[in-house]
Amino acid sequence: MKFLLIVLFAAAVSGLAPLYTQKDKIEGSYLVTLKGNVDVKSAVATIRALPLFSTLGGRIDREYTVLNGFAATLSGKALDLIRRLDFVEFVEEDQMMYASVEWGLDRIDQRSLPLNNGYSAKGTGSGVTVYVIDTGINPSHNDFGSRASTSSSMDFHSNPNSGIDCNGHGTHCAGTVGGSSYGVAKSVTLKGVRVLGCFGSGSNSGVVSGIDYVAGLSGKRVASMSLGGGASLTTDNAVTRLYNSGAPVIVAAGNENQDACNVSPARAANAYTVGATDDSDTIASFSNYGSCVDIFAPGVDIRSASHSSNSGSATMSGTSMACPHVAGGAALECGSLSCNPSSIYSALSNNASSNKISGLTFSKSSSPNLLLYVA
C-alpha cells in the first residue's frame, strides 16, 4: 500500500489521461477506466486514502466488474488529480441515457425520417383534461400514475356499470394520449368515458350520451374519440355541440380504406379527423382518407398501456391509435393556448409536417398531406 501511495504521488507530475466529453453530460459525474493490469479494489482504496482527494471534492461512488474502473463524483480539481494518475487509462463524462421511445412518439417530434430514438415535445399538457370516449380506462395502470380516473357517472354502457375498461381499446388510447412512457402529453389528466362495452361495441345513443356528458363540463378539456359507425346526423350534431362548448373534438377517420366522409363522427364538420400512417410515412392500408380527414398520425404497430395488467402493454393498429396521438398534441396546444377548438385545430394543422406522406394518390389525393408535429 505504501509503495502504491508513492506511485500515486509521483504520478501527479505525469501527463493527463484522456477525457472524453459527452453532449448530454451529467455535471460532476465521471466514469474512470483503469489500465488492464491494475486491481480496481486496490486502486480505489488507495485513492480514497489520499488526503487531497476528498478535500478537493472527490468521491468514488461505485466500483465495476464489467469494466476495469469505477464511477466517481469529481470537482474540477479532483478530476485533474485522477487524470494525472499513471494507472488511469481514460476518463469519460457521465451522460444521460433514455429508454427507447415508441416509434409513434419518435416520429411526431421530428420533421423527417429517419427516427432518432428520442421524444421531446413543446410541453406536457399540465392543467388539461382529456376525456377518452371509448371502452373505459384501467386507471390503476402504472403509466398513468394518479392522473387517470373513471366512475359509474362516466359510464354510458351497462355491464358492468363502473367505467372500468374490460376490452383494452380505451386504456391503450389513453396511454398514447398521456401515459408517462407511452404518451404524447405526459402530464394531462385522463378521464375514461365508457360508451363501448367489453367487445368494443356500443350504441349510437350511448356514444351521444358520452358526448353530451363531456359537453356539459368546463375547463381546459379535449375529447378523444377513437370510434365510428355509419353516417349519422345525430352524432354529427352532438359533435358540434361539444365543439361549441369549448372542447376540441379529435376523432378517428376509420379503418375501412374508404372516404372518411361516409362515416360518423369522422365526417362531422366540427371534428378534427385523423388518418393513420406507418413507420415509413405511408398512409396505412386500412386508413380512411379524403377531404374529411384533417391530419395524419402514426397508427400501425403502436405499443401502449394494457387493461389486463397494471404494468403491461399491448400493440395495436388503427386510426384509433392515430387519433390519441393528435388528442395528446391538442392537449399540448391547450397548455399554452386558450383551448379554443378553432385555434387548436389551426395550430395542429399549421404546425404539422407537410408533404411527408406517400400513398395519397388517385382516390386518396384529396387527403391533406399533413403529419402531426408536436415539438
The answer to whether 106 is a known catalytic residue is: no
- Name the active-site residue from 304, 320, 353, 367: 320
The answer to whether 134 is a known catalytic residue is: yes
Give the span between the Cα atoms of 351 and 31, in whole angstroms: 41
Give the span between the Cα atoms of 59 and 324, in whole angstroms: 46
The answer to whether 320 is a known catalytic residue is: yes
The C-alpha cell 415509413 sits at 280
Q: What are phi and psi of 176, to 5 degrees?
A: -70, -35
- Name the active-site residue from 109, 134, 259, 278: 134
Give the span between the Cα atoms of 308 and 64, in whole angstroms: 39
Burial-class residue 77 by CB neighbours within 10 Å (0-12, 13-18, 19+). Answer: middle
Sign of the Cα pseudo-torsion (305, 309, 313, 317, in order):
negative
Question: Among residues 328, 349, 304, 318, which one has the least CA distance to residue 128?
Answer: 328
Give the span between the Cα atoms of 62 and 85, in whole angstroms: 19
Give the span between the Cα atoms of 284 and 275, in whole angstroms: 8
- Name the active-site residue from 169, 172, 307, 325: 169
Give the CA distances from residue 275 to residues 154, 177, 341, in Å, rounded to whole numbers and listed in that order.
27, 16, 19
Q: Which residues are the active-site residues?
A: 134, 169, 320
